[in-house]
Structure 1
Amino acid sequence: MGIDPLSDAKILDAWQRNAAPWTAAVRGQQIESRRLVTDRAIIEATLSRSPRSVLDLGCGEGWFARALTVRGIEVIGIDAIPALIEQARQSGGDFRVMSYEDIASGKLNASVDAVVCNFALLGNESVAGLFGAVRSLLNPHGSLLVQTLHPLVACGDKPYLDGWREGSWAGFNADFRDPAPWYFRTLESWTRLFAEHGFQLLELREPLHPQTRQPASVIFIAQAMD
């Protein structure tokens, strides 16, 4: 029996297959929106919380962790894809192979000032489970930051309703194949997810693409409530 094409398991399967081209694309700055807008946006949002320590969930090949480390911040990078963690470790640092399900079950022993998920929350059940565990990883008054596709832009012509969507590598080179599906959430659903798990939403940022003047992403900045 194969993997459900619209599922959390399929997301991991697809990223296993595309770890190498993804690493090349990120390190070669081939992704325009990241190069022009979103990389800088998540760095600035994180620095606005003045953390001394950060947990980078879904760290990929480690670019964000490296960007924070050179600014004097202690970073732990977590990803479920061993090939990506292997790439991240080549430059040193604390990078660990661990799934969101592992974290939800309490297998990660860490205490940090901020948890950051940068375009790393693509699933459904795995994301809800992860949110349930994040507070236990944060120091008092710790922050949770999430950058993701802007729902109003990413929705396209489909109904503005939560649900699974097929993935696409449109705009990427031919080395990419078998795109990962993703679970679409409305802005209302995203904000509810924070509230249901004990977070107060402090700020919502909508970084604009300098050419299209459309939101390139949305960034949620939240703080754990006492």
Structure 2
Amino acid sequence: MHNDTNPETCILESWHKNADAWTHTVRHGHIESRRLVTDRAIIDAVLAGRPRSALDLGCGEGWLVRALSACGISAIGVDAVPALIDRARELGGDFRLASYEDVVAGQLSLKADVLVCNFALLGKTSVEQLLASLPRMLQDGGRLVVQTVHPLMACGEHAYVDGWRREEWVGFGSAFPSPAPWYFRTLASWMALFAESGWQLCEMREPLHPGTGKPASVIFIVQRAAALQRR
């Protein structure tokens, strides 16, 4: 990353440019790990809590909202990219345009039994602020379900330490016009971040790729810490 560029800003800028390519990639099943493992894994993780309502934060083109709605859940999707919200609405469903900053500022007056972030926690400060603000959007006893890249698999040739990385979209099956920054966290850093943000880990899942036998992702299922729930 260039020192004179704010990677948090670049994340959103890149997704504005990549919205159509991402929609095409998702809807045509070009990402093998999603097709074989991670799409089903996030649905199963959400359904395990038997929620009546769900809020998908960073919903993209809306596939998860539609999948959860088909399971009888009242689902709403939120994203900061207008083009993605437009694409999502094309196929039906309840989608709202809002950034994580809007959520942190309390501008999204919604509550749900489960909050979902599916490969949508990409920044550093923005994610820290979002996680700290989300408990107020949960119904009593609700859960937050986060799926992200498995740090051990996503580390590549880099040192296993927190830091900014660059997504070049190699192997995604479509022409992505803009590389995208994202913030890498180790497993220990994820656990510490949840604890610092007022969350208590209930379960961690590591869905395995059927071909490689290695984790295709990691899923964190957390609830508000007991002290916060008693307030």
Query: TM-score, normalised on structure 2?
Result: 0.94
Separation in 1 of the partners of 2:48 and 2:142? Answer: 13
Aligned partners of 2:111 and 2:137 also within 8 Å: yes
The gaps in structure 2 that reach 5 residues or longer are: none
Aligned to 2:164: 164
Size of the aligned set, in residue pairs, is: 225
Q: CA deviation at 1:91?
A: 2.1
Aligned to 2:74: 74
Separation in 2 of the partners of 1:10 and 1:80? Answer: 13
Separation in 2 of the partners of 1:37 and 1:214? Answer: 11
Please report the RMSD computed on the Cα atoms of aligned residues, expressed in angstroms. 1.4
Deviations 1:155-203 (A, max 9, x none): 1121111110111211023521221110000101101111112211011
| Stretch moving more, 152-161 or 141-150 | 152-161
Deviations 1:97-146 (A, max 9, x none): 11001101111101110100000001111101101111000011110010
Separation in 1 of the partners of 2:80 and 2:86? Answer: 11
Separation in 2 of the partners of 1:44 and 1:63? Answer: 14
Aligned to 2:192: 192
Distance verdict in 2 for CA 1:22–1:4, change over 3 Å? farther
Aligned to 1:205: 205
**Displaced runs of 4+ in structure 1, greater than 6 A?**
none
Aligned to 1:180: 180
Aligned to 1:215: 215
Separation in 2 of the partners of 1:165 and 1:171? Answer: 17
Aligned partners of 1:3 and 1:9 also within 8 Å: no
Aligned partners of 1:6 and 1:182 also within 8 Å: no
Distance verdict in 2 for CA 1:157–1:49, change over 3 Å? same
Amino acid at match of 1:71: C
Separation in 1 of the partners of 2:5 and 2:23? Answer: 24
Aligned to 1:88: 88
Amino acid at match of 2:125: E
The gaps in structure 1 that reach 5 residues or longer are: none
Q: Does 1:127 align with 2:101?
A: no
Q: CA deviation at 1:4?
A: 5.2
Separation in 1 of the partners of 2:143 and 2:172? Answer: 33
Separation in 2 of the partners of 1:38 and 1:8? Answer: 25
Aligned partners of 2:21 and 2:174 also within 8 Å: no
SS of structure 2 residue aligned to 1:216: coil
Aligned partners of 1:42 and 1:118 also within 8 Å: yes
Aligned to 1:33: 33
Aligned partners of 1:36 and 1:209 also within 8 Å: yes
Q: Does 1:143 align with 2:104?
A: no
SS of structure 2 residue aligned to 1:18: helix
Separation in 1 of the partners of 2:174 and 2:58? Answer: 24
Amino acid at match of 1:12: L
Question: Identity of paired residues, percent?
Answer: 58
Aligned to 2:103: 103
Deviations 1:49-103 (A, max 9, x none): 1110001000000000000001110111000000000011112221011100110
SS of structure 2 residue aligned to 1:19: helix
Separation in 2 of the partners of 1:215 and 1:109? Answer: 36
Q: Does 1:48 align with 2:29?
A: no
Separation in 1 of the partners of 2:13 and 2:45? Answer: 30
Distance verdict in 2 for CA 1:161–1:112, change over 3 Å? same
SS of structure 2 residue aligned to 1:143: strand
